[in-house]
C-alpha cells in the first residue's frame, strides 16, 4: 500500500519513517503530541507548481493559513514563494520569517482599517477586495497615508467546487467575493477611486478540490469579466485563480499540480490571454502530505460486550485531541492513522479518540489497528490545517513541531507551557 505522503513517508520493516527518520524515535525524543514535517516534501510540492509555470509570468502565493509556523514560511520564502495572507497577524508572521511583502496578497472578507494600514505601510503586492464597502474603506485608508492601494476584486464565479460545504467558497450563497453580475460595476467604481489602483482579478472556489473542471469553469468566468472590464477601459494585469487543489487522504486522486497548471495555461492561451500573469494561492497541496501528527496511546477501552458488528465500539484513547487536530471533529474528515512501529498481533477495529470532554473529539473512527498502550500512532496528511487550527480547549498546551531536513532534525516550535496559557489573565482584585 502506498502511504499518503510517499515517497517521503515510508515503511521500513516495522518502522514508519519520514525523510528517513523513525517517527517513534522522534516521539520519544520530543514527546507527544508532536507535529513532524518533511522540509523536502514541502519544497518538492512547491517546485511542482514553479516548474509547470516556468517561462510564464507568475507568482505562487502560499496560503499560509494552512500552516503558518515561522520555519514553514521561511522555507517557502527562501524558495522565492509569495504568500496569501488573511490577517495582520499573518502579515507579521511573513515578515518575521523573512518573506518579501512585495510578494504578498491580502485576502479575506473582513479586513479592518488597522490591517489595511499595516499592509499599506508594509507595501504588500495587492489586496484581494471582497465587497464594495471594503473598496471605499481601503480607498480612504490609502489616501490618508498618501498611497495608492493595489487592488484585485475577488469575484464569486458561482461554480461548484464539489467539496465539503464548509470549505466550498465559490457558490452564490457563500459569503465570499463580489457577485459575478456586480463585478463590472465594482471595477468601474474601483477605477474611479483615487486611492486605488486596479491591478488584477481574483477568485477562489474552495478547498480539497479533486477535479480540474471547476477550475477551468471558474477561469472561463473570470476571463469573461477580464474582457468586459478591459473593454470598459480598465486594464487588468494579473489573474489569480486562488488555491484549493486537494491532496490524498485516503483514495482521492486529485490532479497533480503540474497538470492543473498546464491546463490553466492552456486555457489562458486558447482565449488569447497567454501573456497575462498567473497567480495561484495553494495551501494544503504544499504542506498537507509533508506532515504527520504523532500521538501516544494512553488507554485501550474495548467494548465490554465485545460486539464486533456495526456500532460496536472499542476506544483507543490517545494523547492528541480535537484541540491539536480539529479536522475530523469539524468536517468529519478522514485522515489515515498508522502505528509508528507495526505489531505482528492481529488488528481490531478502534475508534481513536482524544482526552477532550466532547463526543466529537475523535481522530479516526472504526480503524483497523494492532495497538497497545504506550504505542505511538501517526495521523497522516496532517501538515495542513493541523497546527494552524490548534486551540487550547481544556487548557491543553499546543503541541511541539519538528522540521526534518535530510539528516537534520530541527525543533521549530517548543511545546507550549501551561503558564503561558494564562499569563495574560488577571484575577479580580
Ligand atoms: N486562497 C483563499 C482565499 C482561501 O480562502 C484558501 C483557503 C486558500 C487560498 C487555500 O486553499 P487550499 O489550497 O489550502 O485548499 N480548514 C479547512 C480548509 C479551509 C480552507 C480555507 N481557505 C480544512 O481543514 O479542510
Q: For 288-343, how does the pLDDT look when each residue is reduced to its tens digit (9 = 90+)?
A: 999 999 999 999 999 887 665 555 689 999 999 999 999 999 999 999 999 999 99
Q: By C-alpha distance, which of 3, 97, 8, 86 is closest to 45? A: 8
Query: What is the DSSP secondary structure assignment for residue 363, as one 8-state letter?
Result: E
Q: Which three cell numbers stand for residue 395?
A: 487548557
Q: Is 190 exposed, middle or buried (0-12, 13-18, 19+ CB in 10 A)?
A: buried
319 and 381 both lie in a single domain? yes
**69 in a domain, yes or no?**
no
154 and 124 both lie in a single domain? yes
Supply the pLDDT for residue 391: 98
Ligand 1: nearest atom to the Cα of 327? 24
260 and 406 both lie in a single domain? no
| pTM, 2 dp | 0.96
**384 in a domain, yes or no?**
yes
Q: Which residues carry out catalysis?
A: 357
20 and 168 both lie in a single domain? no
Mark which of 243, 259, 282 sits at the end of a domain: 282
260 and 300 both lie in a single domain? no
CA atoms within 13 A on the CB side of 374: 1
276 and 411 both lie in a single domain? no
Give yes or no for residue 84 CB within 6 A of ligand 1.
yes
265 and 173 both lie in a single domain? yes
Give yes or no for residue 242 CB within 6 A of ligand 1.
yes
235 and 307 both lie in a single domain? no
Q: Any long-range contacts for 168-176 (C-beta under 8 Å, 24+ apart)?
A: 168/205, 168/206, 168/207, 169/204, 169/205, 169/206, 169/207, 170/203, 170/204, 170/205, 170/206, 170/214, 170/218, 175/109, 176/109, 176/130, 176/204
What's the total number of domains in the chain?
Answer: 2
Give yes or no for residue 288 CB within 6 A of ligand 1.
no
167 and 245 both lie in a single domain? yes
Band the pLDDT of 1: cuts 50, 70, 90.
Answer: confident
**427 in a domain, yes or no?**
no
**74 in a domain, yes or no?**
no
Q: Which three cell numbers stand for residue 143?
A: 489616501
Report how far residue 272's alpha carbon sits from residue 14's, in angstroms, rounded to the nearest whole number: 54
Supply the pLDDT for residue 170: 66
Give yes or no for residue 154 CB within 6 A of ligand 1.
no
For residue 7, say if its preceding peptide bond is cis, omega within 30 degrees of 0: yes
**4 in a domain, yes or no?**
no
171 and 252 both lie in a single domain? yes
Centroid of ligand 1 to alpha carbon of 294 (angstroms): 23
| Mean pLDDT across 119-144 | 98
**95 in a domain, yes or no?**
no
pLDDT tens digits, 364-384 = 999 999 999 999 999 999 999
**367 in a domain, yes or no?**
yes
278 and 309 both lie in a single domain? no
Mark which of 282, 307, 322 sits at the end of a domain: 282
273 and 302 both lie in a single domain? no
Ligand 1: nearest atom to the Cα of 164? 25
Query: What is the DSSP secondary structure assignment for residue 278, as one 8-state letter?
Result: E
Supply the pLDDT for residue 214: 95
**19 in a domain, yes or no?**
yes
- For the chain, the distance separating the N- and C-terminal CA atoms, rounded to the nearest angstrom, is 61
Q: Is 369 exposed, middle or buried (0-12, 13-18, 19+ CB in 10 A)?
A: buried
Report which of residues 199 and 312 the model is more confident about: 199
Report how far residue 206's alpha carbon sits from residue 355's, in angstroms, rounded to the nearest whole number: 32
Residue 162 has pLDDT above 90, yes or no: no
Centroid of ligand 1 to alpha carbon of 355 (angstroms): 28
Q: Which three cell numbers stand for residue 43?
A: 519544497
Mark which of 282, 305, 338 sits at the end of a domain: 282
Range of the domain at 238: 107-282
Q: By C-alpha distance, which of 87, 84, 185, 90 is closest to 131? A: 185
Residue with cell 498546464: 262
Instruction: Report the CATH number that the domain containing residue 181 is assigned in CATH.
Output: 3.20.20.10
Instruction: Report the CATH number that the domain containing residue 23 is assigned in CATH.
Output: 2.40.37.10
Supply the pLDDT for residue 165: 65
Amino acid at each position: 500500500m502506498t502511504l499518503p505522503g510517499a515517497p517521503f513517508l515510508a515503511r521500513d520493516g516495522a518502522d514508519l519513517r519520514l525523510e528517513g527518520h523513525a517517527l517513534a524515535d522522534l516521539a520519544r525524543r520530543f514527546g507527544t503530541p508532536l507535529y513532524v514535517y518533511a522540509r523536502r516534501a514541502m519544497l518538492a510540492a512547491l517546485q511542482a507548481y514553479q516548474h509547470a509555470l516556468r517561462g510564464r509570468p507568475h507568482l505562487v502565493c502560499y496560503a499560509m493559513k494552512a500552516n503558518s509556523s515561522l520555519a514553514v514560511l521561511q522555507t517557502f520564502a527562501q524558495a522565492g514563494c509569495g504568500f496569501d495572507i488573511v490577517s495582520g497577524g499573518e502579515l507579521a508572521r511573513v515578515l518575521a520569517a523573512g518573506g518579501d511583502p512585495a510578494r504578498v496578497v491580502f485576502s479575506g472578507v473582513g479586513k479592518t482599517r488597522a490591517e489595511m494600514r499595516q499592509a499599506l505601510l508594509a507595501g504588500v503586492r495587492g489586496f484581494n477586495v471582497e465587497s464594495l464597502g471594503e473598496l471605499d474603506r481601503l480607498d480612504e485608508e490609502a489616501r490618508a497615508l498618501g498611497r495608492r492601494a493595489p487592488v484585485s476584486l475577488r469575484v464569486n464565479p458561482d461554480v461548484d467546487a464539489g467539496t465539503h460545504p464548509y470549505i466550498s467558497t465559490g457558490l452564490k450563497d457563500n459569503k465570499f467575493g463580489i457577485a459575478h453580475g456586480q463585478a463590472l460595476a465594482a471595477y468601474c467604481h474601483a477605477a474611479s477611486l483615487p486611492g486605488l489602483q486596479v491591478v488584477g482579478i481574483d477568485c477562489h472556489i474552495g478547498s480539497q478540490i479533486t477535479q480540474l473542471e471547476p477550475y477551468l469553469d471558474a477561469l472561463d468566468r473570470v476571463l469573461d469579466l477580464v474582457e468586459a472590464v478591459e473593454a470598459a477601459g480598465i486594464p487588468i494585469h494579473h489573474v489569480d485563480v486562488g488555491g484549493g487543489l486537494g491532496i490524498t487522504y485516503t483514495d482521492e486522486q486529485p490532479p497533480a499540480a503540474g497538470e492543473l497548471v498546464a491546463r490553466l495555461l492552456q486555457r489562458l492561451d486558447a482565449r488569447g490571454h497567454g501573456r497575462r500573469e498567473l497567480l495561484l494561492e495553494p495551501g494544503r497541496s504544499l504542506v498537507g502530505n509533508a506532515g504527520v501528527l504523532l500521538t501516544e496511546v494512553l488507554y485501550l477501552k474495548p467494548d465490554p460486550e465485545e460486539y464486533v458488528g456495526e456500532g460496536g465500539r472499542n476506544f483507543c484513547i490517545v494523547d492528541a485531541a480535537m484541540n491539536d487536530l480539529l479536522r475530523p471533529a469539524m468536517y468529519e474528515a478522514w485522515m489515515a492513522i498508522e502505528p509508528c512501529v507495526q505489531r505482528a498481533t492481529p488488528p481490531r477495529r478502534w475508534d481513536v479518540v482524544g482526552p477532550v470532554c466532547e463526543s466529537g473529539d475523535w481522530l479516526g473512527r472504526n480503524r483497523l489497528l494492532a495497538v497497545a498502550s504506550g504505542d505511538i500512532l501517526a495521523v497522516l496528511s496532517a501538515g495542513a490545517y493541523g497546527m494552524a487550527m490548534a486551540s487550547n480547549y481544556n487548557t491543553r498546551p499546543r503541541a511541539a513541531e519538528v522540521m526534518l531536513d535530510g539528516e537534520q532534525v530541527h525543533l521549530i516550535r517548543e511545546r507550549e507551557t501551561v503558564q503561558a496559557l494564562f499569563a495574560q489573565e488577571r484575577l479580580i482584585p
